[in-house]
Amino acid sequence: MNIILLGYPGSGKGTQAQALSSLLGMEHLSTGDLFREEIAKGTPLGLKVAEYLSGGKLVDDKIVLEVINSKFEKVEKGFLFDGFPRTLDQAEALDALLVSKKMELDAVIFLNVDEAEVVERISSRRVCSKCSKVYNVISSPPKKENVCDDCAGPLLFREDDKPAVIEKRIMVYKDLTEPLISYYRANGVFYEIKARGDAKVITENIVSFIKTEIANK
Q: Which residues form the catalytic set?
A: 13, 86, 125, 158, 169
Which member of 24, 37, 48, 52 binds ligand ADP (CB under 6 A)?
A: 52
CA proximity to 41, closest of 123, 170, 129: 129
Residues in the chain, total: 217
Q: Closest approach of Cβ 82 to ligand ADP, in Å?
A: 7
Applying CB under 6 A, does 32 fall inside the site for ligand ADP?
Answer: yes
Q: Output 86 or 125, the one with its CB closest to Zn ion.
A: 125
Contacts of 170 (CB under 8 A, 6+ apart): 8, 9, 115, 118, 119
Could you say whether residue 58 binds ligand ADP (CB under 6 A)?
Answer: yes
Cis preceding linkage at 179, omega within 30:
no
Sorted by sequence, the CB contacts under 8 Å of residue 19 that are 6+ apart come out as 199, 200, 203
Binding at 168: pick from ligand ADP, Zn ion, none (beta carbon under 5-8 Å per type)? none
* CA angle in degrees (0–180, nearest 5) for 70-71-73: 70
CB 75 to Zn ion: min, Å = 25
| Nearest CB to Zn ion, comparing residues 94 and 127 | 127
Q: Which does 134 bind (CB under 5 to 8 A by kind): Zn ion, ligand ADP, none?
A: none
Please state, in angstroms and rounded to a whole number, the distance separating the CA atoms of residues 106 and 108: 7
Among 67, 148, 170, 189, binds Zn ion (CB under 5 A): 148
Alpha-carbon span 46 to 68, nearest angstrom: 15
Angle, in degrees to the nearest 10, between helices 115-123 and 163-172: 140
Nearer to ligand ADP, 52 or 191 (CB): 52
Residue 144 CB, nearest distance to Zn ion (Å)? 12
CA 86/CA 93 separation, integer angstroms: 11
Chosen from Zn ion, ligand ADP, none, partner binding at 150 (C-beta under 5 to 8 Å by type): Zn ion
32 binds, among ligand ADP, Zn ion, none (CB under 5 to 8 A by kind): ligand ADP
53 interacts with ligand ADP by CB under 6 A: yes
Do 119 and 130 form a contact (C-beta atoms < 8 A)?
no
Among 130, 162, 168, 185, binds Zn ion (CB under 5 A): 130
Taking CB under 6 A as the rule, does residue 35 contact ligand ADP?
A: yes
Which is closer to ligand ADP, CB of 160 or CB of 184? 160
